[in-house]
Amino acid sequence: DKIGPRFGGLLNATLGNAAELIITIIAISAGQLTLVRASIIGSVIGNILLVLGASILLGGLKNGVQRFSRENAGIDATMLILAVIAISVPSIFSVAIEPNKLAVEELSLTTAAVMLVIYGISILYQFKLKTSNSEPAATSHSEHRWNSRVALVVLAASVVGIAIMSEFLVGSVEPVTKQLGMSEFFVGIIIIPIIGNVAEHLVAVQVARKDQMDLSLSIANGSSLQIALFVAPVLVFISLLMGNPLTLEFNNFELIALTASAVIAAFISVDGRSNWLEGAMLLAVYTILALAFFFLPALI
């Protein structure tokens, strides 16, 4: 309540994406780069289609037409389009020229650096915007709150637990995919993003049902932007240090899905209003893409 919906959404997204970051780092160390790339795209489209769709649907069914900040939604929509462009350029570059692994790696590194800079600038802008429009903090009544020390201990223990579970998760991908007839690609783009971000998914839906759509959108859109503009670039640099370079090369269907998701989410959110039908539309798009991803891997 004290930090407002924008920074509340950012904090929820950051804590939720910590699990995703740990899982993908372990996957990089195991050489499962296809899994990592798929999970990056899967997390972005999962947040702007599945999470946002479920939030708008369930919030709309309970509260009817819901309203939120058009300015914040417009900024998020523009940032999402920017993220799509940044992620797409290395892939288009690798197709447009003769295969040149070194050039693609260098372009991925420089693009990642630009993505980190623009993400940092966007956080700074939000901070300055909040300062200039300082809203009175809502007071909380009889809720029990942890002190900072207890919260840090719980957070540290959670990170250790996530790291241990991530080892088992990444190690079990191959046997599970063989047993269930799924591909590594499908697990990366659908299953891992859902598992890695389940906590923030639930929070986004809960606050939408409480008619706090600014916070719900900040969680869903903020998580997508953080994955695309922060986590993905960080993974590029970390993979280089680990001796297993990750480039920002994605297959055509991933790019089409990413672009379509960003466009439909932008159209739905920029008017500052939402209803349950729009949520159902987002979920329908996610379901269609998930089905396509399930059948696609054999062709990749």
Whether residue 33 is contained in a domain is answered as yes
Whether residue 145 is contained in a domain is answered as no
Query: In this predicted structure, what is the pLDDT of residue 289?
Result: 95
Whether residue 142 is contained in a domain is answered as no
Query: In this predicted structure, what is the pLDDT of residue 197?
Result: 75
Query: In this predicted structure, what is the pLDDT of residue 67?
Result: 92
User: How many domains, the chain?
Assistant: 1
Query: In this predicted structure, what is the pLDDT of residue 137?
Result: 45
Query: In this predicted structure, what is the pLDDT of residue 299?
Result: 47
* Run means of pLDDT, 10 residues per run, the chain, 300 residues: 56 70 85 90 93 94 92 89 93 80 90 94 80 50 57 63 61 70 85 80 90 90 91 94 91 92 89 93 95 74
Query: In this predicted structure, what is the pLDDT of residue 194?
Result: 86
Residue 219 sits in a domain whose CATH number is 1.20.1420.30
Q: What is the mean pLDDT of the chain?
A: 82
Whether residue 120 is contained in a domain is answered as yes
Whether residue 148 is contained in a domain is answered as no
H, E, C per residue of the chain: CCCHHHHHHHHHHHHHHHHHHHHHHHHHHCCCHHHHHHHHHHHHHHHHHHHHHHHHHHHHHHHCCEECCHHHHHHHHHHHHHHHHHHHHHHHHHHHCCCCHHHHHHHHHHHHHHHHHHHHHHHHHHHHHHHHCCCCCCCCCCCCCCCHHHHHHHHHHHHHHHHHHHHHHHHHHHHHHHHHCCCHHHHHHHHHHHHHCHHHHHHHHHHHHCCCHHHHHHHHHHHHHHHHHHHHHHHHHHHHHCCCCCCCCCCHHHHHHHHHHHHHHHHHHCCCEECHHHHHHHHHHHHHHHHHHHHCHHHC
Whether residue 96 is contained in a domain is answered as yes
Task: Read off the pLDDT of residues 41-81 as tens digits, 9 standing for 90 and up.
Answer: 999 999 999 999 999 999 999 999 999 988 888 888 999 99
Q: Which domain holds residue 280?
A: 4-132+153-299
Whether residue 185 is contained in a domain is answered as yes
